[in-house]
Amino acid sequence: MTLDKKLQDFVYAIAEALKENIIIEASKYTTVFTGTLANSDLVKDIKVSVDKYNITVSYPDYLKYVQTGRKKGSGKGSNIPIGILLKWMKAKGIARGKENQVAFAIQRNIFKYGIKNDVKPRPFYNDAIVDTINSVDDYFEKNDKNILNLKYNFEDIISDELKKLLI
């Protein structure tokens, strides 16, 4: 196997580990609609793809609020956009026929009280990134020992790249 193929396999293994870690971490948090975050549309909408040596992660805009909550308060741009609320409501089948009224009420409520996330933040995505960074050692231990001399350079590069994905 060529070094190029080994590197591609390594990147693919990291992407697969990230996908698995997102599900594992999301399973630790409960939700009203789906039981756990792992079963939610939010997690289903997180996409991890690989193009040769690049891992790309895309996710819904509201992921950051699920992870950290949202503080109440005023200020420019502090309201959740109505379009995002309408999309969420449609997916959940909420308030058919009165979507705009309900979306504005939800927006006002979030502005006034914030999003508390069951009192605790749910940082499943960031936890999955950290777990994936920690799994780099495991990959090298279980796979091709001939590339172990490259291990520490890869760990530094991969850790830096995965840290950029943190929210």
Q: DSSP state, 118? A: T
Determine the pLDDT at residue 2. Answer: 77
SS3 call for 73? coil
Average pLDDT over residues 72-87: 74
Q: What is the distance between the alpha carbons of residues 93 and 99, in angstroms, rounded to a whole number?
A: 10
Extract the runs of DSSP E, i.e. beta strands, from 26-83: 30-31, 35-36, 47-51, 54-58
Determine the pLDDT at residue 119. Answer: 47
Determine the pLDDT at residue 9. Answer: 83
Average pLDDT over residues 131-153: 66
Q: What number of other Cβ atoms are within 10 A of residue 153's Cβ?
A: 9
Beta carbons of 42 and 51 less than 8 angstroms apart:
no
Residue-wise pLDDT tens digits, 1-59: 776 787 788 888 888 989 999 999 999 988 766 788 888 888 899 999 998 878 888 98
pLDDT at 105 exceeding the cut of 70: yes
The residue among 96 and 33 whose pLDDT is bigger is 96
Average pLDDT over residues 107-119: 73
Q: What number of other Cβ atoms are within 10 A of residue 140's Cβ?
A: 18
